[in-house]
Chains A and B, each alone.
Chain A
């Protein structure tokens, strides 16, 4: 079945550092891929998405490119801020059901 694997956290960075959070997936067909962010005490917010191979999703300085050849969707940001501290979830949607399949989440802690 479909699954998502993302790097374990926590990831601790200093402000203005470069961020990469790895995500790979297993899926039949051509799933859509997403990054969600969860701030403390809140629900999930969609950060960015890509619906087909080679699409690049971007939002708030974050980017991720849908790589079908490596089945990956790594999240990157050139310069993180303290306000980016949160848990990041990679997810996929595919098939005939309205169901998101999530990775385990990666806690990002950005220090001033």
Chain B
């Protein structure tokens, strides 16, 4: 079974631009979560989508948004990029959250975003 895939793997943007990152979950997984990883802040939860609905959101400004499609693929968008948005963005998928107990989250390789 193919793992979680993220595209693109690397991105370079300039301040003020916007960017869209894509995540394809493992086949059959319906939940997709996004995390931001930076040297200063570590791994921080951005949001989680399940059945095309955002179910949980971390403490990030409204410039960070996401969506999920009917095939469970997810995109996240960052508008008006700032230097501090430079990070590794990780996507994770799981079967069915809140179905009782923990559903293991499988992570993709990430998208490395550099904002100049």
Q: Which positions in A face B, CB cutoff 8 Å?
A: 32, 36, 41-46, 49, 51, 89, 93, 96-105
Contact = CB atoms under 8 A, between A and B. Distances in A.
B40 to A, nearest CB: 10
A96 B98 contact: yes
A46 B104 contact: yes
Interface residues of B, number: 27
Question: From DSSP, what is the main secondary structure of chain B's interface residues?
Answer: strand
Nearest to A45: B107
Contacts, number: 58
A15 B7 CA distance: 36
Contact of A104 (B31, B42, B45, B58): B42
Contact of A43 (B56, B58, B101, B108): B108
Contacts of A36: 107
Nearest to B97: A98
B93 to A, nearest CB: 11
Nearest to A32: B102
B4 interface: yes
A24 B108 CA distance: 26
B31 A98 contact: yes
A111 B55 CA distance: 44
A49 B98 CA distance: 18
Contacts of B105: 46, 98, 100
B42 A98 contact: no
Nearest to B50: A98
Nearest to A42: B109
B82 to A, nearest CB: 22
A93 B4 contact: no
